[in-house]
Amino acid sequence: MKKYSLVGLGAGVLAVLSMAATPVLAESTLELVKKRGHLRCQVGTPSPGFYQLAADGSWSGSDVSVCRAVATAIFGDPNKVEFQSVTSAVRFTALANGESDMLSRTATWTAFRDTQLGLDFTAVNFYDGQGFMVPADSGIKSAFELKGATVCVATGTTTELNLADFSRANNLDIQPVVFEDNNVRNDTYLKGGCDALTNDKSGLASNKAGFPNPKGHMILPETISKEPLAPAVRQNDSQWSSVVKWTVFALIGAEELGINSGNVDQMRSKPPSPEHARFLGVEGDLNKGLGLEKDWAYNIVKKVGNYGEIYDKYMGDGSPEGIAIPRAGSANALWTEGGLMYSPPFR
């Protein structure tokens, strides 16, 4: 009797232990995604340039392209993605609890987020900084003129924290007006419910492009923070983190190597250098540790494009929404052109 109960207890304890250990022992996210047959990629609520939702339900944009590039690395198909659109306030919980496989949505890589939220950031795909926008006829020309001003801001963001720092450091007594929903925030600003709107500068360009009268608003010159934006994954899944990180590097690396969607076939049939050959899977086995096929990077460039192509299409002068954030001379230029975009070597 005693023995049985002990055995019973043993089995019970084992069951509890194995349940508790599930997140650690569970299959890697890559295996999970492969089995499921598509990637669950978290983006923000629709915002021109980054993540735009068309009337037919399809998503496009720069951060959306990173999701599509990861799906392409795995499946050779940019459409094998389920896009999950949630607000900034709940984004990290939705990733940490397993609802999303990754997020690609203007999330700033900070020490706290990288070490205390159960997340790992991968590789920066946009270097940004926070700014302010005001109505063009407000007469305000500098962020330092915002003394006592009400400023609309999204909650759960670095934006909210930086605003408080900036106000305190400069004795500006700024009154934050805080929102979870970006649309409500923008509407409130447009209706005069706050004197200024603050966001990442690329976010401001995106917000402005979506306003009925973009020219009626002005982005002030000051940049009050560093916002390195990067896709993130759950922590402790090194292979999955590598897949997302090397997908971003493949986008940047392709541009460095002069490989784009138009010439990638020609480059593959006659690689101009050994690194081109390794990148395109013609030589070596760089795919092995990633758990991907040899043509993973080829497929990314062929079906999604390189970093510069994505930038031009969604953030550059040619972007349909007119976001037009100049890349030349900015941190988002390639390192060979004075910027910070740099991929480790493909070897």
Ligand X SMILES: N[C@@H](CCC(=O)N[C@@H](CS)C(=O)NCC(=O)O)C(=O)O
Whole-angstrom CA distances from 307 to 214, 253, 301 are 27, 8, 9
Contact by Cβ (8 Å): 193, 119: no
CB 171 to ligand X: min, Å? 25
Token pair in block for residue 335: 């390192």
Residue nearest to ligand X (CB): 44
Phi, psi of 67 (to 5 degrees): -60, -45
CA nearest to 107, candidates 134, 88, 84: 88
Chain centroid, CA 256 distance in Å: 21
Our CB check for ligand X shows the closer of 231 and 281 to be: 231
CB 222 to ligand X: min, Å? 17
Q: Which stretch binds ligand X (CB under 6 A): 17-25, 39-47, 230-238, 307-315?
A: 39-47
CA nearest to 132, candidates 72, 208, 212: 208
Binding residues among 214-243 for ligand X as defined by CB under 6 A:
227, 229
Our CB check for ligand X shows the closer of 32 and 53 to be: 53
Q: Which stretch binds ligand X (CB under 6 A): 105-113, 288-296, 302-310, 332-340?
A: 105-113
CB atoms within 10 A of CB 266: 11
Measured over all CA atoms, what is the biggest interatomic distance in the chain, rounded to whole angstroms? 86
CB 205 to ligand X: min, Å? 9
Binding residue for ligand X, selected from 71, 74, 154, 254, defined by CB under 6 A: 154
Our CB check for ligand X shows the closer of 44 and 78 to be: 44
Binding residue for ligand X, selected from 72, 84, 167, 199, defined by CB under 6 A: 199
Contact by Cβ (8 Å): 277, 286: no
Residues 47 and 282: their CA atoms lie apart, in Å, by 38
Q: Does 100 bind ligand X (CB under 6 A)?
A: no
Our CB check for ligand X shows the closer of 84 and 199 to be: 199
Amino acid present at 120: D
Pairing of strands 130-135, 196-200: antiparallel
Our CB check for ligand X shows the closer of 108 and 242 to be: 108
Our CB check for ligand X shows the closer of 108 and 306 to be: 108
Q: Which stretch binds ligand X (CB under 6 A): 64-72, 135-143, 197-205, 247-255?
A: 197-205
Contact by Cβ (8 Å): 85, 45: yes
Binding residue for ligand X, selected from 104, 108, 122, 332, defined by CB under 6 A: 108
Our CA dihedral for 295, 297, 300, 305, rounded to 10 degrees, sits at: -130
Token pair in block for residue 209: 């492009």
**Helix, strand or coil, per DSSP, at residue 154:** strand
Binding residue for ligand X, selected from 106, 225, 306, 319, defined by CB under 6 A: 106
Binding residue for ligand X, selected from 62, 72, 84, 88, defined by CB under 6 A: 88
Binding residue for ligand X, selected from 29, 42, 47, 299, defined by CB under 6 A: 47
Binding residue for ligand X, selected from 39, 44, 245, 304, defined by CB under 6 A: 44
Residues 6+ apart with CB under 8 A from 331: 127, 339, 340, 341
CB 342 to ligand X: min, Å? 21
Letters for 155-194 (x = contact with ligand X by CB under 6 A, - = none) are: --xxx----------------------x------------
**Helix, strand or coil, per DSSP, at residue 75:** helix
- Residue 282 is given by DSSP the state S
Interface residue list for ligand X (CB under 6 A)? 44-45, 47, 87-88, 105-108, 154, 157-159, 182, 199-200, 203, 206, 227, 229
